[in-house]
Amino acid sequence: MERFIINGGKKLSGKVKISGAKNSALKLIAASILADSKITLRNVPQIEDVNIMLEMLEILGAKINVEAASKVIEIEPEYINNYEAPYELVRKMRASILVAGPLLSKFGRVKVAIPGGCNIGSRQIDLHLKGFKDLGAEYLVEHGYVNCHIDKNRNGNRLHGTIINLDFPSRGATENIMMAACLASGQTVINNAAREPEISDLALFLNSMGAKIQGAGTDYITINGVKSLRGTDYEVMPDSIEAGTFITAAALCGEKVEIQNARWRNLEVFYSKLKEIGVKITIIDENNIRVEAPLERYKPVNISTLPYPGFPTDLQPVITVLLSVVPGVSIVTENVFENRFMYVDELNRMGADIKIEGHHAVIRGVEKLSGAPVRSFDLRAGAAVVLAGLIAEGTTEVSDIYHIKRGYENFDEKLRLLGADIKLVE
């Protein structure tokens, strides 16, 4: 079984270039279903989740051409002739549910497996389904699948625009509804929409295909339906969460690390917290920053995760690692997922002193961590235990690293280039 072997204590320095955003690329691939001709995507991260989403589109009938070296993907959606997203793929990656909106809107029907929960929470899709119903679709849940179709008697073969009020600014629900509304008749409004930068990236992509979307990036998005969407050539935005992960690694054990393509404006709350801790961040320009780590001067802080622009839940595990070696008591509160502290037991096995009380992690900073065999419970928890291994005394062995490879492109290679002693072993 593949695992990472890390010998801690090395200082990081040099430059690291951030790859394309996983949580944008997956949606752009799903949105390609809506087009009537070829889509070219650039700066696509070479990660397992992208491979799964491309496999999904191939199962639907699309023709796919991957130029791995240049990170370019070509998708010909005009060959799609199947409208069923199978359980074995949706089970592997819940983001597969995002083919539902495009298939429903373009073909009038979709059968998609209901994604199970995962290590961080129940991961409901009720807001997605309520949005489809508001747009004029009918759905039936049976045998672990959702069967959705447009009620032809009421609407012919098109969804119809309407005002949709989301109970919670769900990213997936915002994305699925926005994609479905592109080919609906009339205007759709999504109120209390998610505001993440990846939502704006998806809207820019759809508009380059001829969609008429305004307000993406705010909590009030309007979509004026069109009859069809054309192919386009589009570059995926940089990955803010990967940037935040490397910035935190630099804050832990960096001498002088330059993070390129950091697009730092997408992480302003995260940066302000790092500065409050005492991390030295220099803005080089819109896309590049430098991080220096005067670890001895860091102060404890309290952090609460919230939907964007609040502190990103996906950076909660790595910031907890940083706070675990900052003298004093810090409190991290997880407000987005119900079970996102599974990795804390692994940190405590490395000598951290963290107590979980409900949605709160009470972190008492310790002098140092010590290397140990640990597991990756999910993508971001895996990144957290790797970062802990970078600063721990001795050797850390990280198993279940397939989680990490799902969402971080060349993670160990990029860390090695910065000076980390990390090896991938079978």
Residues contributing to the site for ligand EPZ (CB under 6 A): 22-23, 26, 95, 121-128, 168, 170-173, 194, 313-314, 336-337, 379-380, 407
Q: Specify whether the CB–CB gap between 81 and 88 falls below 8 A.
A: no
CB of 126 to ligand EPZ, least distance (A): 5
In whole angstroms, the minimum distance from the beta carbon of 380 to ligand EPZ comes to 5
Tokens representing 223 are 């979509």
DSSP H or E segment with residue 325:
none
**CB of residue 113 to ligand EPZ, shortest distance in Å:** 15
Nearest distance from C-beta of residue 137 to ligand EPZ, angstroms = 15
Residue 321, classified by CB atoms within 10 Å of its CB into exposed (0-12), middle (13-18) or buried (19+), is buried
In the complex, least distance from residue 367 CB atom to ligand EPZ, rounded to whole angstroms:
30
Give the whole-angstrom CA distance, residue 252 versus residue 47: 25
Q: Alpha helix locations (H) across 48-170?
A: 48-60, 87-92, 100-107, 126-134, 152-155
Output 307 or 351, the one with its CB closest to ligand EPZ. 307
Cβ 122 to ligand EPZ shortest distance, Å: 5
Angle at 380 between CA 5 and CA 21, to 5 degrees: 110
Question: What is the nearest approach in angstroms of ligand EPZ to the Cβ of residue 292?
Answer: 27
Question: Looking at residue 394, what DSSP letter applies?
Answer: S
Nearer to ligand EPZ (CB atom), residue 73 or residue 325? 73
**Using the 8-state DSSP alphabet, how is residue 11 labeled?**
P
* Structure tokens that stand for 75 in this block: 């998708």
Residue number with CB closer to ligand EPZ (270 or 298): 270
Residue 133 is classified by DSSP as H
CA angle 156, 162, 164 (to 5 degrees): 130
Distances (CA, A) of 51 to 67, 73, 133, 337: 13, 11, 30, 26
Which residue's CB is nearer to ligand EPZ, number 231 or number 317? 317
Closer to ligand EPZ at the Cβ: 67 or 167? 167
Contacts of 410 (CB under 8 A, 6+ apart): 19, 46
Residue 148 appears among annotated catalytic residues: no
- In the bound state with ligand EPZ, the residue whose beta carbon lies nearer, of 158 and 171, is 171
Nearer to ligand EPZ, 145 or 298 (CB): 145
The distance of Cα 355 from the centroid of its chain, to the nearest Å, equals: 27
Structure-token pair, residue 35: 């087009």
Q: Which residues, 6+ apart, have CB-to-CB distance to 279 below 8 Å? A: 251, 291, 292, 293, 298
248, 322 contact by CB (below 8 A): yes
Instruction: Indicate which residue of 118, 148, 182, 253 is catalytic.
Output: 118
- Mind telling me the catalytic residues? 118
